[in-house]
């Protein structure tokens, strides 16, 4: 398979975060994953009233910049994201599309006044990246609380789920991936 997932840092993103995401996608999904050239901080998406960044505007920008040969194009940023109907989001994806965005902002234990915990933080990043990639390939939210495709509306939801797809979601993931490869 010549197609791969590109991870695009938006603003400053630590190297260990990018390495964790690429390694996770390679090992859990069997998909080649590379870090692309980064983008500037998304000032165009900043909402002064909320002091947050509109993830839909960032996603639209990513869609315009997506490499033609990409299976997926995932933006990773440190800014706090929202969609207009929610207070915040950990990430957002094009359903059955190529692009997604994740934020590390609310994944850090320090955001919740907890001590720094690099292992917990990177596990949250990994789960969020897999979740959004799943949406890009067509997966919806799963009812199994342990599945990485379970909806995370609170950080506790992210912490309680595993870094893997449940048996049903992995089967669907492979089916969607095979279908995508056959049609491109």
Residues 133, 56, 73, 18: is their CA dihedral positive or negative?
negative
Domain that holds residue 10: 4-183
Q: What is the pTM of this model?
A: 0.95
| CATH of residue 157 | 3.40.390.10
What pLDDT is stored for residue 175 in this prediction? 94
The number of residues in the chain equals 184
**Residue 45: which of 73, 84, 18 has the closest Cα?**
84
Report the chain's terminal Cα–Cα distance, integer Å: 11
What does the pLDDT read at residue 180? 80
Interhelix angle for 167-183 vs 118-137, to 10°? 50
pLDDT of residue 110: 98
Residue 179's pLDDT is what?
85
Concerning whether 15 is annotated as a catalytic residue, the answer is no
pLDDT in tens, 46-76: 999 999 999 999 999 999 999 888 999 999 9
Closest by Cα among 99, 86, 22, 20 to 59: 99
Among candidate residues 48, 132, 156, 171, the one labeled active-site is 132
Structural domain total, the chain = 1
Q: Which residues of the chain have pLDDT under 50?
A: 1
């Amino acid at each position: 398979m010549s197609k791969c997932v590109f991870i695009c840092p938006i603003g400053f993103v630590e190297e260990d975060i990018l390495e964790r995401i690429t390694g996770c996608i390679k090992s859990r999904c069997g998909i080649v994953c590379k870090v692309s050239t980064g983008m500037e901080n998304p000032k165009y998406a900043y909402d002064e009233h909320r002091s947050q960044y509109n993830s839909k505007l960032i996603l639209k920008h990513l869609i315009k910049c997506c490499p033609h040969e990409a299976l997926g194009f995932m933006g990773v940023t440190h800014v706090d994201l929202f969609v207009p109907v929610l207070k915040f989001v950990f990430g957002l994806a094009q359903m059955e599309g190529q692009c997604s965005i994740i934020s590390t902002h609310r994944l850090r234990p320090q955001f919740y006044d907890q001590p720094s915990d690099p292992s917990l933080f990177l596990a949250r990043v990994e789960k969020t990246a897999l979740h959004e990639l799943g949406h890009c390939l067509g997966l919806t939210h799963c009812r199994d609380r342990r599945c990485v495709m379970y909806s995370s509306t609170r950080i506790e939801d992210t912490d309680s789920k595993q870094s893997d797809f449940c048996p049903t979601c992995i089967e669907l993931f492979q089916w969607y991936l095979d279908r995508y490869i056959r049609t491109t």
